[in-house]
Chain A
């Protein structure tokens, strides 16, 4: 997941060329440059504010900001990581202005002993049709919204946007070990909130042959 592969390198070259083009006057190339990251930037904004309209607003501002300061992108981080960091800054400065800044470690206690997960022995694989169910989507969205802010940021960047641990640390400006601690607690909190509810929301149906086998690493 973290190993660089040829397509990532190609993408980086392509982006470098697009950035150079925008900076030398082909401004409309900026559309093409950011198109792959719309979802990531939106989700990053959503990890801060929990409100769709506001997240969209922050995402738009972040892209505008990224355009204006494109000349300062040095290419030492990935373009996507740079964009995400801009989005986090944009969202946080907005929260600060409105005095809604989240107080770290008040609700996101990191050193607080063992989290007890939900213990269900009859957990089975999720069939693919599970996600077509609005109910599951709502359960997931609510659970993520209920997480302490510092945990939500980390789990959204790592598990939803699938950044590496290293990229997550870089984007948030925190240490790798803190990312791991928060990620662990976020995942177990989600498991605790969701496992019992998903189990009842998903009633196993008779084998229809469409079961998706979950493959792991």
Chain B
């Protein structure tokens, strides 16, 4: 099946996930091979996913860990977990 750009955009996320049906995947790849716009949409989406996974984009607040474990120390000292 010959896909137009809109069809391809609808498949971008599943394409990246690798969950597209093989026949559809082949159609998408055929389109990507000659469509510069969709290739760029795919690349930029992938790049954004890489940025999302990068620890430097969303960092833990300074001393988050220190405050958390101090709080837990207080709870651990006084509470026993439910055994249910």
Residues of A at the B interface (CB closer than 8 Å) are 22-23, 27-28, 30-31, 34, 38-39, 42-43, 46, 52-53, 56, 59-60, 63-64, 67-72, 114-126, 131-132, 136-137, 140-141, 144, 155, 159-160, 162, 165, 180, 183-184, 187-188, 190-191, 194-195, 198, 214, 216-217
Q: Collect the chain B residues with CB atoms within 8 Å of residue A115's CB.
A: 9
Whether the pair A121, B37 counts as a contact (CB closer than 8 A) is: yes
Residues of B within 8 A of A (CB): 6, 9-10, 12-14, 16-19, 36-37, 40-41, 43-58, 60-61, 64-65, 67-69, 71-72, 75-76, 79-84
In contact, A42 and B81 (Cβ under 8 angstroms): no
Query: Which of A23, A46, A160 gathers most chain B CB within 10 Å?
Result: A160
Query: Which of B14, B51, B84 lies in contact with A126, CB distance below 8 A?
Result: B51
A116 near B40: Cβ-Cβ < 8 Å: no
Residues A31 and B81 in contact in the complex (CB < 8 Å), given A43-B58, A187-B12, A194-B48: no
Query: SS class of chain A's interface: helix, strand, loop or mixed?
Result: helix
Q: How far, in angstroms, from A64 to B64 measured CA to CA in the complex?
A: 15
Bound CA–CA A30/B75 (angstroms): 11
Asked whether B45 lies within 8 Å of A68 as measured between CB atoms, the reply is no
Report whether B44 and A118 are in contact in the complex, using a CB–CB cutoff of 8 Å.
yes
Interface of B is mostly: helix
B71: A residues at CB distance < 8 A: 60, 63-64
A selection of 29 A-B contacts at a CB cut-off of 8 Å is: A38-B65, A38-B68, A39-B60, A43-B58, A46-B58, A59-B68, A60-B67, A60-B68, A67-B76, A67-B81, A68-B75, A70-B82, A117-B44, A117-B45, A118-B44, A119-B37, A123-B43, A123-B47, A131-B54, A140-B52, A165-B17, A184-B12, A184-B13, A187-B13, A187-B48, A187-B49, A191-B41, A191-B44, A191-B48
Residues of A with C-beta under 8 A to B68: 38, 59-60, 63
Q: Could you count the A-B residue pairs with CB atoms below 8 Å apart for me: how many are there?
A: 158
New contact pairs (18) apart from A42-B60, A114-B9, CB-CB < 8 Å: A52-B61, A56-B64, A59-B64, A114-B10, A115-B9, A117-B12, A117-B44, A117-B45, A126-B51, A131-B51, A132-B56, A141-B57, A160-B57, A160-B58, A165-B19, A187-B13, A190-B48, A198-B47
- Min distance, Cβ B72 to any Cβ of chain A, angstroms: 6
CB of A18, distance to nearest CB on chain B (Å): 13
Question: Please, how many angstroms separate the alpha-carbon atoms of A105 and B60 in the complex?
Answer: 30
Considering the complex, give the chain B residue whose CB is closest to the CB of A186: B13
Given A39-B60, A42-B64, A60-B71: A126 touches B50 (CB 8 Å cut-off): yes
Give the docked Cα–Cα distance between A191 and B51 (Å).
11
Q: Which residues of B contact A120 (CB under 8 A)?
A: 40, 44
Question: Are B81 and A22 closer than 8 Å at their CB atoms?
Answer: yes
Known A114-B9, A115-B9, A141-B57; judge A121-B75 contact (CB<8 A): no
